[in-house]
A and B are shown apart, each in its own frame.
Chain A
């Protein structure tokens, strides 16, 4: 009944598809993290206008579906500007912008959980503000927010399957093509599901290693 051997010729393709999935996840995580840190600092800053803008940004990106954001960026960019955005760029951009909104909330909590006394401790030694933020607040905020950050990268990994909609040859797209060619829907999609599961478990494992590493100071 089930026949996985029909998939065999397509496994090399699967490898490159998985690679694309990983690439998306990696780049959008980086972008989401950097954007999220900046957004978190802005929302916590005393500048009311900037803080309002950051909050509006977070509200919009958390309040609309990721798929809509992806399609808007991919299809509307060429219409509004003369720039033909590639699927990879549109994907990384929309996922990065979207996860920045979520990550900023996690980091904001992480920053607020850092002992306020450290600020005075650093200030009273003449440490400039930017160094304090980078060397003392950021490491502790990451530590505090690590479970949510790992969670967010897992979400990104799974959500990366949305790029198949705009024609990127990622893992899900691979399964879709294969089932069209072989009429073996179950085999194709179950393999894709298994691939995602293994990748998520691997991320989870990396996350717990990282957690152990940052907890040495506890």
Chain B
């Protein structure tokens, strides 16, 4: 569904992505791991053009979104992102947060959007918070709302950028449980995370990045238990899996 070919991205003189190529199939749960500054998040942000790549191509359902003329909003509504810091709209209630983009971007009626939002809110166990403002929610609750908000757009791919990194330890599980539940629904998902145990558990494919390069990729068993490269071995040895 998404084919990334020789992708590169520089910020001025700093080259953060170097010749990255990978393919994401429909329904695949892909995890990208690697140390901080290795380019994982930048790669993820290139997929929905929050960062404009400086070279290479991204074929989104066959269409090159880097080099061809595309409406940027059309890409993003199909590749919704969940952020480390939630980025909920502070002036809107949970329900309004979720129904806003479906109404404005997908032109759903208020009733349709609300119905869909309430269903999703039940799935993330937050039905009772529908009319609360984000400031009243805990970090874990905010992130579950952010995930539900992204799902409300029915994106073709869900991008999660370190969704548990800003959470208190006791809230990590509730968010991971939601993501895991999602992973089993057949949704296409690209996840950047430092939760190695979780990555091992939910992923179909794991990629390891280092210094802007995609070093290796494969099934969780291949990457975690039988890493081929020294860099991956070194990285995995330095963390607790």
Contact = CB atoms under 8 A, between A and B. Distances in A.
Interface of A: 115, 117-118, 120-128, 131, 135-136, 139-140, 143, 216-218
A132 B111 CA distance: 22
A124 B49 CA distance: 9
B77 A125 contact: yes
A139 to B, nearest CB: 5
Interface in B160-184: none
Contacts, number: 80
Contacts of A125: 76-77, 80, 100-101, 105, 149-150, 153
Contacts of B79: 124
B91 A124 contact: no
A135 B76 CA distance: 19
A217 B90 contact: yes
B35 to A, nearest CB: 23
Interface string B11-52: 000000000000000000000000000000000000010100
Contact of B50 (A120, A128, A143, A216): A120
B88 interface: yes
29 contacts: A115-B87, A115-B90, A118-B87, A118-B89, A120-B50, A120-B83, A120-B87, A121-B87, A121-B89, A121-B146, A122-B89, A125-B77, A125-B80, A125-B101, A125-B105, A125-B150, A126-B75, A126-B77, A126-B78, A126-B101, A126-B105, A127-B101, A127-B105, A136-B89, A136-B91, A136-B92, A139-B91, A217-B93, A217-B133
Determine which residue in B75, B80, B100, B134 has the highest number of CB atoms from chain A within 10 A of its CB, and name it.
Answer: B100
B50 A124 contact: yes
A187 B149 CA distance: 63
A135 B104 contact: yes
A123 B149 CA distance: 13
Determine which residue in A125, A128, A216 has the highest number of CB atoms from chain B within 10 A of its CB, and name it.
Answer: A125
Given A143-B91, A216-B133, A217-B90, 16 more contacts: A117-B85, A118-B87, A121-B146, A122-B89, A124-B48, A124-B159, A125-B77, A125-B80, A125-B153, A126-B73, A126-B75, A126-B101, A127-B104, A128-B105, A135-B104, A217-B93
B74 interface: yes
Give the interface residue-count category, chain B.
20 to 34
A59 B53 CA distance: 39
Nearest to B101: A125
B77 A217 contact: no
A217 B85 CA distance: 18
Contacts of A121: 83, 86-89, 146
Given A124-B48, A126-B74, A217-B135, A117 B105 contact: no
Interface string B56-91: 000000000000000001111111110101111111
A122 B87 CA distance: 8
A123 B77 CA distance: 9
A136 B86 CA distance: 15
Nearest to B104: A131
A126 B153 contact: yes
B104 A117 contact: no
Contacts of A143: 91
B86 to A, nearest CB: 8
